[in-house]
């Protein structure tokens, strides 16, 4: 069984080294549609594979961090990176070139990290997972990935190397992540959500 949930974000980037000069050398944005595909071998106690409502405080929260955000490759020109950080409240540093292909892989792996750290309380399948993501960069063009693509296209990239701006950190901490169980780490200005537990659960003060 496979279910699908769609999300929409508005996001800016540059795609270095690509064939199109416009994309490689000019900042630009996209109205992206992100389709998240979940699979599992059995239905829960309500006859659902997974309740879409449970994705609002975890998967949606993570994807929403990319909305009205500028993303960049952490190997880009240092002066350019400092410019982006200086003049944008919402930015995300990525350990890969932000192509539609790599973003689809990133979202699939990030969502699986979230699912793996989520308490399953209603008889959900033990093998519940994000089996793929379709990242619609434009109305006519998209990239679609599956778990099989991890073997050759993703294993050199580490999710924990992603960095989020201060305003995004605040958004991620304030969101409803009660269903998530993160490894406890002390609050750090270079906070990465995959390593953090919700502030209230830890009894930490938000900065």
Catalytic residue among 23, 30, 170, 202: 23
pLDDT value at residue 173? 62
Q: Find where tokens 């780490």 sit.
A: 185
Return the higher-pLDDT residue of 119 and 138. Answer: 138
Return the higher-pLDDT residue of 56 and 206. Answer: 56
Does residue 137 have an active-site annotation?
yes
Residue 170 to residues 33, 38, 89, 91, 113, Cα–Cα distance (Å): 24, 28, 11, 13, 20
What digits encode the pLDDT tens for the residues 23-65? 777 788 899 999 999 999 999 999 999 999 888 877 888 899 9
Catalytic residue among 35, 68, 170, 202: 68
Does residue 23 have an active-site annotation?
yes
Catalytic residue among 13, 124, 131, 137: 137
Burial 136-147, CB ≥16 within 10 A → b, else e:
bbeeeebbebee
Does residue 170 have an active-site annotation?
no
Residue 153 to residues 23, 195, 206, Cα–Cα distance (Å): 21, 23, 37
* Segment of 7-11, 12-16, 111-115, 152-156 carrying the highest mean pLDDT: 7-11
pLDDT value at residue 160? 80
Report DSSP letters for 84-151, one per residue.
HHHH-SSEEEESS---HHHHHHHHHHHHHHHHHTB---S---TT-EEEEEEEESSSS-EEEEEGGGHH
- What does the pLDDT average to over 57-79? 92
pLDDT value at residue 144? 97
* Structural domains of the chain, ranges and CATH numbers in brackets: 2-165 (3.30.479.10)
């Amino acid at each position: 069984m496979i279910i699908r949930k769609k999300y929409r974000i508005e996001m800016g980037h540059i795609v270095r080294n690509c064939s199109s000069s416009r994309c490689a050398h000019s900042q630009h944005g996209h109205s992206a549609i992100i389709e998240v595909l979940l699979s599992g071998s059995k239905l829960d106690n309500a006859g659902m594979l997974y309740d879409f409502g449970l994705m609002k405080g975890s998967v949606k929260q993570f994807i929403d961090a990319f909305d009205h955000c500028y993303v960049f490759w952490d190997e880009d020109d240092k002066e350019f990176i400092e410019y982006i950080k200086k003049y944008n409240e919402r930015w995300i540093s990525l350990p890969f070139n932000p192509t539609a292909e790599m973003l689809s892989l990133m979202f699939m792996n990030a969502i699986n990290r979230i699912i793996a750290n989520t308490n399953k309380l209603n008889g959900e399948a033990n093998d519940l997972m994000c089996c793929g993501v379709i990242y619609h960069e434009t109305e006519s063009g998209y990239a679609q990935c599956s778990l099989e693509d991890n073997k050759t296209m993703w294993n050199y990239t580490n999710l924990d190397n992603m960095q989020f701006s201060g305003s995004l950190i605040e958004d991620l901490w304030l969101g409803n992540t009660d269903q998530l169980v993160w490894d406890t780490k002390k609050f750090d200005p270079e906070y990465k959500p995959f390593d953090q537990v919700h502030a209230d659960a830890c009894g930490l003060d938000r900065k």
